[in-house]
Structure 1
Amino acid sequence: MKLDEPPAPPIDHQAARCRRLWAAVVLQQLIDARLPDRYAAVRDEARRWLSTPTAARDLVLEASGLDPPAFDRALPKLVEEWRRVDAGEIRRRMPAMAGRRDRR
């Protein structure tokens, strides 16, 4: 930082934690959207939630730092790319991610 530059705004750690929490909600919907047929009800509900713009869904997307119109435009490509990801591997890694602590 140069002396004539204004100081950087302080980091809002609480807001960052909230964004990560809502991003986890979106990630869980993406994981649920790939569930096998034996979980069809949960899978289909997640797919509807992801693909149907509603005020509640858009609020969650915005709270997670995502732009709802951009999310809607990206969703078809995301779904296509997501098919290449091993959902089981993501679920296996999630407990390790849950153990991380925020550092200030």
Structure 2
Amino acid sequence: MELLLETVALYSLKLAYETEGHSPILRDDPLMGSCDREVFELLIRWGDVAGIQGEIGRCLDLASGAVGGVDTVLGGELHRLAKNFGAAQTIEGLYAPAIILKDYLRDVL
């Protein structure tokens, strides 16, 4: 689960900040900040669903801005998927929406 969450964050930040012709954003990039695997591992261990949703939500907000916001087709769909992720009540409930987010962001990239 930690790797899945880190991948969602990484794809979001790539969408928001990576530009063609520049170095790619990698998992160990300082831009990842508190969205790395170890942080997610701790949040999962603590059962902090809101903390996980907050970290992923911050990254998804950046990605949404990069695709033009919720008034665009891509941004609207990303917003809908983010709401599904935000509605989860348990760690286990985050898994399916996180997979869908990861796949969507990968396709948008």
Q: TM-score range by the shorter chain?
A: 0.3 to 0.5
TM-score (norm 1): 0.32
TM-score (norm 2): 0.31
- Structure whose residues are more often helix by fraction: 2
